[in-house]
Amino acid sequence: MTLEQLLALWTQGPRLARLEAVHALAIESGDHERADRAALELAVPHVSPLQSLAANVELGRRLLDGRWKAVRDALEGDATWDEVAEAQGLTRDEAVAYYVDAIDHRERYAAEPFDHRRARAVLPTPGGGDLCPASRMPSCVSALPT
């Protein structure tokens, strides 16, 4: 399933709950026309709350799996580690630790080819600079907090 399809499934759950509330309020207020419209929409097959939950979990998994790429792409652009950390609601050290863990995991378990040099090229230098030159990659990686 695509991300768009998963998102559509996930958003159906809250939509169904809103329709049920509209239907109940329309009946209480005597607005039969509105109640009938809501009842018609409710009669159409909908995603169950369990299906909506499963879609939410899969969306979260896929988004987290791709987060390291978004970090790398931002850093390959003009973003700094401080900006990347702020965008994630993390400290700089937490952002770097997350990224290192994600690419270490990718190196061990990725089924598709993985360009570890490109992934590690954006790591900060031990002296605090933002980019780790390719020639210094091993020392940059070993200098990171564990």
The answer to whether 109 and 115 are in contact (CB under 8 A) is: no
- pTM of structure: 0.60
Q: What are phi and psi of 66, to 5 degrees?
A: -95, 0
In the chain, the percentage of residues whose pLDDT exceeds 70 is: 82
Residue 144 CA: distances (Å) to CA of 33, 45, 122, 135: 65, 52, 13, 16
Q: Are 68 and 106 spatial neighbours (Cβ–Cβ below 8 Å)?
A: yes
- Mean pLDDT, residues 45-70: 86
Q: Is the CB of residue 126 less than 8 Å from the CB of residue 110? A: no
pLDDT greater at residue 22 or residue 90: 90
Q: Domain ranges for the chain, please list them.
A: 1-47, 66-146
pLDDT score for 145: 43
